[in-house]
Amino acid sequence: MSLTISCGFNSSLKSHEHAAIADQLGYKHAFFYDSPAMYADVWVQLCRAAERTSKIGLGPGVMVPSLRHPMVTASAIATLASIAGQDRVVIAVGSGFTGRITMGQRPLTWSYVGEYLEVLQALLRGEETTWEGAIMKMMHYEPWAPPRPIDVPFLLAIQGPKGIAAAKKYAKGVITVTNSEPEFEWNATIMSGTVLDDGEPLSSDHALRAGGPMAAVAMHMLLEFEDPETLPNGKAWKAAYEAIPAERRHMHVHDGHAALVNEIDRPFLTPEVLGLYGNTMDRSAWKDKLAEYESRGVTELIFQPVDDIARELDAFMNMAAS
């Protein structure tokens, strides 16, 4: 199998320890999520992971530009590179789904993302650049940051033609959730789920805990952008969220997002829904799914484990390597 296997973490207070496990198991990269309303600080945890690992690549996946001034991000990248080495750092950037919606904001425009990356990458090259009308550059001497240029690859989490255009200009490759983009040589897909034990049913507690968050994410995306009534019991599920005042609804929709099953979603995450949207499968079905990803031009699969992280990392890599 030529598919590269990496992992993603909803940046917890233990994600640096989980990255060390992934390093030993042979995962290529570990991407840490950037959602401050839900998770631990992404840059702190990445630096802690860098100190505990030796081979695995590290980076945010995905970083949300509006959360930090470009100089703050440039300094954070420089600090991570000083610990891990530039050859182990990769910076994935997106327009902000969970990272912004959890704070009541919509995703960024691609024009804003492009302007931010233009400035950020100029800073990392050691150039003068302008942000918010002011000229600036990285002024760090050697004790405070590595010398410029700081050369690390960028990936863009994209959807649609504007995202593709931005990726062609600013990135080495892309991350997608649904549609792959085979025109890019580095074509990563991020997903979650679980490898079921032999004979384990979709109705098991483990299937709900480890596969439920992925199915819930699919439901949340439908609620935010499309029509969740297409789901089994989708009308009732939609009504459960519409009963919450609109100004507070975003906090409830994304409660536990990609990490655990919240109390509103739990009744609707039936075995049928887990089978359709939870990537909750046995080893054989997973092998077929990996082959399908390869046939679509995916070059790297980013697996996000939940629940018993060590168990899920081991089970997935054991399946993928067999």
Q: pLDDT tens digits for the chain (322 residues)?
A: 589 999 999 999 999 999 999 999 999 999 999 999 999 999 999 999 999 999 999 999 999 999 999 999 999 999 999 999 999 999 999 998 888 988 889 899 999 999 999 999 999 999 999 999 999 999 999 999 999 999 999 999 998 899 999 999 999 999 998 777 888 999 999 999 999 999 999 999 999 999 999 888 888 777 777 777 777 788 888 899 899 999 998 889 889 888 999 999 999 899 998 988 879 999 999 999 999 999 999 999 999 999 999 999 999 999 999 9
Q: What is the CATH number for 147?
A: 3.20.20.30
Same domain, 20 and 117: yes
Same domain, 157 and 253: no
Same domain, 106 and 168: yes
How confident is the model at residue 307, as a pLDDT?
95
Same domain, 99 and 217: no
Same domain, 188 and 226: no
Q: Return the sign of the alpha-carbon dihedral for residues 275, 159, 229, 255.
A: positive
Residue 268 to residues 219, 237, 262, 272, 281: CA-CA distances in angstroms? Answer: 10, 7, 11, 10, 19
Q: pTM for the complete prediction?
A: 0.94
Among 49, 44, 89, 94, CA closest to 67: 94
Same domain, 143 and 248: no
Same domain, 284 and 229: no
Same domain, 259 and 314: no
- Its domain, for residue 99, covers 4-196+280-321
How confident is the model at residue 1, as a pLDDT?
58
How confident is the model at residue 294, as a pLDDT?
93
What CA–CA distance (Å, rounded) separates 217 from 222? 9
String of DSSP letters for 59-77: EESSB-GGGS-HHHHHHHH
Same domain, 230 and 187: no
Same domain, 23 and 160: yes
Same domain, 183 and 300: yes
Same domain, 21 and 114: yes
Structurally, the chain folds into a number of domains equal to: 2
How confident is the model at residue 302, as a pLDDT?
98
Q: Is 193 left (phi over 0), alpha (psi -120 to 50) or beta?
A: left
How confident is the model at residue 3, as a pLDDT?
94
* Strand arrangement of the beta sheet that strand 300-304 belongs to: 57-60, 29-32, 4-9, 300-304, 186-192, 173-176, 154-157, 91-93
Residue with structure tokens 């168990």?
A: 311
Q: In sequence order, what are the residues at sequence separation of 6 or more whose Cβ sits closer than 8 angstroms to the Cβ of residue 130?
A: 119, 136
